[in-house]
Amino acid sequence: MNIMQDATLSQCPETLRNSPSGRPELLVGLARYPKTTHLPLDGVRRMVALPAFASHIGAPINVGLARYPETRKLPLNAQARMVGAVRFASHIGAPINTLLSINAAHLQRIDSDSVFHIGHLWDGHRDFQELLRKWLTHRGITWACVWAREYTGGRNRHHGEHWHIAVHLPPRHQDALAAQVAIWTGEAVGAPDDKRKCIARSVTGAWYLSRGKENAGEYLGKATPKTRLRYGKWVSNDLRTTRHYGGEGPIYGQRFGISRLIGTTAQRRQGWQ
């Protein structure tokens, strides 16, 4: 995979004809069914991964099964794990100080290029994160990262799945990363807003790069359940400490993650609490 390097900021729309991610080879969204496909009783065509041979032999397919499991919230201990990872990142000299937010569902709806063009958003997230990891490590930057995929309801144009990716980024690389994100997403850099934390944002606000001073794990963990079941009764989830709320909703595939360098195993090896 060839990664575009040394991009510069531009107000001109960028395309991805030479995208480092290329185009997905298979269309996985609302699957295209052979004539013999059996729909569920409610008649809804759901997201499904088709076997490679299905379109050739016209075999019946169970279209009621999603390609990836669905979750509506984060695990009970997700926020605690992310908060701990962010603290550990500072402990090893790689503070997580930059947050990239991307409205993935919106970019897919407007037929943006790269990982959003076609395909499942969980696949797209993994591809995008790998591009970001390689871009950072190529410049000698420690890959310290926590991330979460969230859902926004309502009827606004940015409804659906969006991503928060918090990373360690030395300030001198901020403009270069913003320019690279513009290329990866097909959304040019626009005018910044009036917030001091803003590094850059896209012309439509579909992606936003910002500085962060507080522990990013608190914000990314806001979809952690407020309560848990204990001895048959619902009690407060004492692993949740954030004042932030939101992000709950249907997400298919992994919902959050922590890079290995700052994960639980790495913390244990250093005897860090």
How high is the mean pLDDT in each 10-residue block of the chain (273 residues)?
44 38 33 33 39 37 63 88 95 97 90 75 94 97 97 80 96 97 92 90 94 89 75 68 74 95 95 81
Token output for 109: 């709806």
Q: Which residues of 34-47 are buried (b: 16+ CB within 10 A; e: fewer)?
A: eeebeeeeeeeeeb
Q: What region, left, alpha or beta, does residue 271 occupy, with left being phi > 0 and alpha being psi -120 to 50 degrees?
A: left
Task: Kindly state the DSSP code that residue 72 receives in the 8-state scheme.
Answer: S
Domain borders along the chain are 70-269
For residues 161 and 105, the answer to whether their CB atoms sit within 8 Å is yes
The structure tokens listed for 50 are 């088709």
Beta bridge partners of 239: none
Residue 242: the pLDDT is 65
Residue pair 86/96 in contact (Cβ under 8 Å)? The answer is: yes
Residues 6-26: tens digit of each pLDDT: 444 444 443 333 333 333 333
With tokens 């300030």, the residue in question is 171
- Which H helix or E strand runs over 162? strand 160-167
Q: What are phi and psi of 89, to 5 degrees?
A: -60, -40
Closest CA to 10 of 154, 159, 220, 191: 191
- pLDDT one-digit tens code per residue, 74-131: 888 888 999 999 999 999 999 999 999 999 998 888 877 667 776 889 999 999 999 9
Count, residues in the chain:
273
Q: Which of 88, 83, 87 is nearest to 270 (CA)?
A: 88
**Alpha carbons 236 and 213: distance in angstroms, whole number:** 28
235 by Cβ neighbours in 10 Å (0-12 / 13-18 / 19+) ranks as: exposed
Measure the CA–CA gap between 263 and 260, rounded to whole angstroms.
Answer: 5
Burial (Cβ within 10 Å: 0-12, 13-18, ≥19) of residue 53:
exposed
Q: Which helix (H) or strand (E) holds 126?
A: helix 121-138
pLDDT of residue 66: 65
The pTM is what? 0.74
What pLDDT score was predicted for residue 16? 37
Residue 76 dihedral angles phi and psi, to the nearest 5°: -60, -35
Q: 228 with 243: CB under 8 angstroms? A: no
Identify any residues that bridge with 102 across adjacent strands, giving them in sequence order. Answer: 163, 207
